[in-house]
Structure 1
Amino acid sequence: MPETTAKYLNMLALLLALLIVVFIIDFIVRKILLSVFTTFSKRTETNFDDILVQNKLPRNIAHIIPLLIVLEFIPIVFADFDYFENIVEKSLQVFAIILTLWIVRSLLNSVHDYLQMLPRFSDKPLKSYIQVFMIFAWAIGILSAFAIVTGIPFLKFLTGLGAASAVILLIFKDTILGFVASIQVSINNMVHIGDWITFEKYGADGDVIEISLATVKVQNFDKTITTIPTYALISDSFKNWRGMVNSDGRRIKRALNIKQNSVKYLKTEEVDNLKNIGLIKAYLIKRQSDIDEYNSKKNIDKSLLLNGRNLTNLGVFRKYIEEYLKHHSAINKDMMIMTRQLAPTSQGIPLEIYAFSSDKRWENYEYIMADIFDHAIAAVPYFDLEIFELPSNSSFLNN
């Protein structure tokens, strides 16, 4: 056999034997580490070790020993082929860098998953910080790999990239903006995971489920997912409902439009009829007494209702709604309760209810608000008032 052929066959035989041994060792070490981690995790109270297994940290660490063995025996396998030896050694060194990054990523992901289970950190954007760290780690790893392949010292290679810094900044513009935004969001306590936010520009209305370096994921109430750029949280306006959730009540702020021509002064007999309404009986008695006393002292001519002081059906209705809210079981009595009259419009006089429901859950809140307005709408005719409503087809047919 020619000497050259013998050398190639020798190299292939040694390489094959090395690969078989390395795969066997890798399999054995991986099984041992997984068994050790699994056994250890069952005996400990913390679930951090379980999370390490889930994020494949033992599997990645198991590759270290086979890699060291290969690096040790490569000079023997390629003893007659210096060129191949150099290429394989550089390839293994690059793989060593990648393996180190895998181990770091698995460890950081495990720390993230563990901290997210703790109440203190469950609403913190930890993922964005881990992503920032991994970007720098991958950048250093890639530069180190290039330095190994080209044979240029790392510091010298890094210095040569100074001229390309403008291009790098342009490429990583969104990443840099996201990093700065995530820091500001965290420092200013603007958004937490679990917050209900409304972001009209992006059509988001739901709970924040993830805050990362580049994006914020919002699960809308229809279960769709809206992705928002992280830097949009500091560059655009959005509504965070956390204040309402943490408060003692959820605001009810809605108005009834009363027809202006249905508003009138109340005659004595009309006031007497309204005294049958329990919630305002005491109010009407006292108010009517004060009005009669005033008009008597001032010698007011009451042949015309316009003269002197009078009660109006709108004013009495407003007082009735206010008393109704104060006696409603679902309204928080420690927060503001008000029924106010807004400026008249072309669609009548808005009579606004302003109060806070004790139950802040969306479904219950809507039920409470509907219950209040069901009652208010049904009560309007008892005060000789009318609700403004644009004509419908049936209105013209009846006429």
Structure 2
Amino acid sequence: MSKEVRVDIAHILSEIGVNIEPHDNISTVFFLVLCVGVAFFTYVIVRWGLLKIVNTMLRRSKASWGSVIVKHAVFEKLSLIIPAVVLNLLIPLVLDKHIILSGLIDRLLSLWLILALIRSSYAFLDASNDIADIKLMSRDLPIKSFVQLFKLIIFLIGFIIAISVLANRSPVYFLSGLGVATGLVLLVFRDTILGFVAGIQLSANQMVKVGDWIQMDKYGANGSIEEVSLTTVKVKNWDNTVTNVPAYALVQDSFINWRQMQESGGRRIKRSVLIDIDTIKFIDSNDEAQLATINFVPAILTKKKQNLPPNTGLTNVAIFRGYLDVYLKQHPQIRQDMTFLVRELEPTPNGLPIQIYVFVNDTRWAFYEDVQSDIFDHIFAMIPKFGLAVYQSPAASDVRSLQPLTAIEQQSIAEKQNF
């Protein structure tokens, strides 16, 4: 095809009286400079003429992809092909008698074309990635992983073609040798292959998306996913540090994805208050009269008495649990359509745990912490009103405040031990 075009160009030039096949060195240099000038002139027309108009139209268009194409200079990089094509057509005509030099320049121009095509392809892929981000497609698909994979494939193809051009061999010759080096290729591109396969699995199973909050203690990751690439997942932790997790690790190892919590609109409170067991007791009529002054307690007392088995009494901790149940059910920031528990856990050496297991109706971290703190501030303030006390380990000041036993107390203890 190129030979036919060259013949046509030579024929047209000969008709107008221009012999583009010089026989002396001065004429050869002159025509070479002329060819370079023609190539540069065509590049200027395309680059600063035609592309200026195209870029202006793209910027003014309502489509969001237009400005992205201009930003990544896709057409500008593609325009570098124009002078290479012009030189590739004209220079062999000028150097028709200089076969070695013509072949060398022809190979250099072929490399120029390959490099220009690779750069323009990279720019187009980067622009496609940005367009996918604008349209929020990257949240559902690992677009960047595919972009990086296509870049790798384009580079490998370009590299093989470039080597074949320099060696003056068919690309098939070099491709046939890849079978021998398959083991080396798998070793070099192990992470890339694993990452690509993992990216497909992550996307197909919707395991992670950009913006998800994940927790992976093995890699010290606890934050929001900022980027899913071909080999790594970039996580911005809550302390503003960045952790890069191998993509295949998210498939092989376990991790926590908090996306479902965020989408459900409810964030869990799961915290216990340790009650000093020595303060738990049955309540009498005087205690009932005192507790009845607390909001919600009269109705709780009535309900508890109706469901009270024979020969048993009410305890202050039971009334306290009933109070917490009613208080949280009337709390405006607690979701009533999700799991709701106020329960006693197994006693521990540190006291009796009363656990609150409810969901806040806002998943924002600061709001959630504020609601949780307000609830437990109220609980700690109400505990003494029920005759209860929170278990607390003795502090140094408590130990220092202990008074030594008197002689009478020591004698009494000794008599009890002897008895």
TM-score by structure 2 length? 0.86
Three-state SS of the structure 1 residue aligned to 2:227 is: strand
Change (3 A) 1:86 1:290: closer
Residue of 315, 322, 325 corresponding to 2:325: 322
- 1:286 equivalenced with 2:289 (yes/no): no
- For 2:285 and 2:332, the matched residues in 1 are separated by 33
Amino acid in the other structure paired with 1:286 = K
- For 1:82 and 1:11, the matched residues in 2 are separated by 13
- For 1:361 and 1:157, the matched residues in 2 are separated by 57
- 1:27 equivalenced with 2:44 (yes/no): yes
- For 1:152 and 1:20, the matched residues in 2 are separated by 32
Change (3 A) 1:314 1:173: same
Equivalent positions of 1:71-110 (< 5 A) are 71-110=88-127
Residue matched to 1:305: none
Q: In 2, are the aligned partners of 1:318 and 1:339 still within 8 Å (CA)?
A: yes
Residue matched to 2:343: 340
Three-state SS of the structure 1 residue aligned to 2:157 is: helix
Residue matched to 1:3: none
Residue matched to 1:244: 261
Three-state SS of the structure 2 residue aligned to 1:318 is: helix
Shift of 1:341: 0.8
Three-state SS of the structure 2 residue aligned to 1:278 is: coil
Most deviating of 111-120 and 248-257: 111-120
Shift of 1:382: 0.9
Residue matched to 2:55: 38
Amino acid in the other structure paired with 2:343 = R
Equivalent positions of 1:344-383 (< 5 A) are 344-383=347-386
Equivalent positions of 1:1-399 (< 5 A) are 10-288=27-305, 291=308, 295=310, 308-399=311-402
Amino acid in the other structure paired with 1:111 = S
Shift of 1:115: 2.0
Q: Which runs of 4+ in 1 moved over 6 A?
A: none
TM-score by structure 1 length? 0.90
Q: In 2, are the aligned partners of 1:123 and 1:194 still within 8 Å (CA)?
A: no
- For 1:341 and 1:32, the matched residues in 2 are separated by 79
Give CA-to-partner distance per residue, 1:280-337, whole Å, 9 cap, x none.
211202323554xx64xxxxxxxxxxxx211111111111111111111111122222
Give CA-to-partner distance per residue, 1:28-47, whole Å, 9 cap, x none.
31112431222322442212
Change (3 A) 1:42 1:171: closer
Most deviating of 332-341 and 35-44: 35-44
Shift of 1:239: 0.8
Shift of 1:366: 0.2
Three-state SS of the structure 1 residue aligned to 2:240 is: coil
Residue matched to 1:303: none
Percent identical pairs in the alignment equals 36
Three-state SS of the structure 1 residue aligned to 2:180 is: helix
- For 1:398 and 1:8, the matched residues in 2 are separated by 109
- For 1:183 and 1:103, the matched residues in 2 are separated by 26
Question: Could you say what the CA RMSD is over the residues aligned between the two structures, in angstroms?
Answer: 1.9
Q: In 2, are the aligned partners of 1:185 and 1:191 still within 8 Å (CA)?
A: yes
Change (3 A) 1:393 1:15: farther
